[in-house]
Structure 1
């Protein structure tokens, strides 16, 4: 083997891309090739004979010194890292140190072969940072997708599912593993819509404009159990590396649709309430005009019945007239009680009387629909301390529901109304009860637990609002009782049972009996002023009071009454509330100023207690009121109560 020509060796070293330098034991450069000089940006005179500290700076010298000591001891070393160089900035150097010892003696020189990898390392660092950012973005996107409230479903261009987030799993009832790779139409599209879906996919695959991309669409989807539900979807396309993917963001609209339906039912209930309010205002005027002649008919029929005691045939006719008039009066009062809005007012009420009043109202409707209404009312029921208007509303609602349930029934149609008294076995006090049973289609088993829910109804569209039974049960429980749907009778149909404690309270009752009807005053000297513009009604009231021993004077208006009060002393005033000239309210204000003692002894006889101004007046003055039409006993009881105040 021929030794290498020294000139060739020098040529090779000078043109090597590696930075070659040779250092003596004083750490001074004795040789530097062209690559090293170019890297340092210096000439050979500025490097040769100078130490590393002078050429590379103190920081580089401090890093080199421990390695040099090992290299001069004969150890070959390799190192790499960032070094701060004067004029070159921060550089990443890979360096190999090779000791040289001529003739096997001590190491005299160390050759340093270096490569500048700064650009490579900077690029690696940039790639590492980009990769870290990419991982962060992917983790963030994954967290968003996995925790999104909306269902996110992605497919490839063929419509096969490639992504199915947890919200989609919960919404559709499929796991992600079950649906990956399956056509999306099989997973979420109802069968009747799949053909249209496939046609749309084919249009997009052939490059035709997509009709649904970027639009908010409402449609139906199907769950794993086969049930359908309304959904809202937004679809968009993503192109990646020559492939197209479609992602749908889906929201379940079931709750929104249910809420909208409930709001519509509430609106309908509000419209019905507004109609009832308008009807109530109209009814107030009608009742006022009707109650005056009705009171006269009742009173005169009662008097005629008494006068015909020796003529049984005429007396029977008079009795029929009186009973018919009383029935008309009950119907008017029931209408007023249903429409009247006022605080609860409890008192002794006969459940049988409420049943009779309700059936009087509904007899014609039952009869015209061919429904037999049977009453089986127990005799001697004790009165319950309840709000008669509220419990009357419950009774009326049960009877109306039974009539509506039989509207489409075939064959004989029958409603049975029963009342009775529960003994003190399961309760701390006796309870009166009412049962309304029909032989209609009944309540389906799956709906029995929901019939008392607000806005739930089994009736046809447009019939009822679903509030009747819910309100009725609430009213029953407010009185310490309950309203329940009984087990389906053997002959079918539905049976509802209302039970009420005698006290009208959930607690144990207190022993109290209804106050007896006050006896007419023994002294005939008590004087009453009757004020009304209806002459016949004035005569009737005067006759009732005079027959009970009162001295009576009459006035056709409030102004005339004031003139009489200035001349004669009276113990009580019975006045109409609606009159021309000066009405009852104006009379009360004048009496309060001029005769304050009598202001506490005024009874207003009126058929207009439904109107808001009349209710407000009676509530603010705390004056007693007697609704028209009335009986003689009603009138005498109220007047006797007035006399106790004077």
Structure 2
């Protein structure tokens, strides 16, 4: 009598004693109807041990109906079967002469596996019309088992595997897809496995054997158990494969990281992998397969694939350094797929084991291609914008350099026109001459950059400006396509002529590009408003885009090299002149294309200024002022002018000197130049005065020659104090000063 038969006889003899033990092992499971299922399961085990047929499919159908009707998951059902097997093995251990505990456990594992195979077969048959649901169901069952398990197709192809199976082979599900079990086995695999895979009809019984798998430089040894999946006609539909690792002495299980791989890493919405010390991928997220990396099959770590593709097969991937030195790595890598270039950001992090040694590398790959493309487009746009604003930059430079010497020239000239003591004439003329020569040197040094574009507005006739500046810049062919409607009456506006010329040219170029044959430009003066209508006979502008066309960088002609800044800058320039630029509907009789209307206020006739009108009256008593300006000529000019109007002024050139003066003297007001030399800047000096001499804050006024500087504008605006731009006339300075002092 074999050991399996001895075990079957014992189970039959102790049936009544074992049934309560088995039922108690399922504590927590609904008991109604459970006793019959447990008894039938035990009877099936006895028949299987005797190698006799038993109604496994019927039992599997009843068991499936039982756990489904009680809202139990497939994992819980499979766990119940494992608990039954364990309880039965414990009840038989050391109670059968001649049969060891290992023999009992091995025999019961095989018979219990037959029940699992029947359960799989039933699920497979009942879900044949829903293949996707079937695979998920099998996957749920496999994932509930800690033992490495996989489902094979009829030809031995791996259809699905649980995480324990992938972790054992140090790979991932994606890398296993499409491969057969023989691809993974070494030559040491027994011939019985090959026979099992090649035969269409096999016995229902399962069998186990020792085998080896190819995983990294060293093969992995395992006890392999195969359970065939059968069709209703007895043909093999596949198999369930279970592995039991044959660990060497001193092996130590690592329970923490498998839990992280199974539960936490899949929650990261990025392409991630885990690589062990031998270079095997033990975890790979679903996002890895969606990365645009042609040719990557998952056999090697993604970081190594990208690095070798970029730097050659002989190059060493940074993950080796992470394993060796335990340092993080963050870098970018370019991948050229011969069709397009992709950019990836690579993060490699060391993962220590329970003893603190670096056992794994966590790899995260992020596709940065779109970000790189947007960054490159923005850089191109900025460069184009900088090129188009060269004239404006030159103008700003000229204005900033000329303000200080012009203020001195204007100030001394005004003093001489009002009358100056004879002994002071020579010094005043000397200062005017010196600062005039300084202006001349500045202008000559900047002429090498080209002719500057002045920012000052002038009164011009809009019609004359268009005839002389705009029409002359169009080609003869373009001029023939444009119909001009002028009234012939004066059309006065205030603008920067060069700037307004560019605005009109931009409108015309857009219209000529969109027009089929004709563009009509109409200039009119109605009710103090100057209107220029530019209408074409092209496709027009849809209603939902009539405001968007003025957004910076919006264009429908990007493939032609357009930047989308023309209309945006044109609207900004018109708004700076107090006007507007809009898209309107064409009037009756006009072409039915796009219609852009430029509207500006008509310039008013300027009244003649009188040098004496509105001049501030001299102060009735002496007031003491502190002037902080690092230009010595400006100091002398202000000190002399203020003295003639009844003020006493002390002048200093730095913030530290100003604080010393404030300690020694009580002042009625302080005049600060925004740009001063020394340790303390103007903003820092203002903060010190606010802290130590708060009573002077309402009596502070700023001078600046750099209001085009964004920081200067923001600072002065935040203080709320009055300011005067250089160059200025002394009467304007005195007027602001008298208002400051009340």
The two structures share one fold, judged by TM-score above 0.5? no
Larger Rg: 1
Q: Which has the higher contact order (CA 8 A, sep 6+)?
A: 1
Category of TM-score, reference length = shorter chain: 0.3 to 0.5
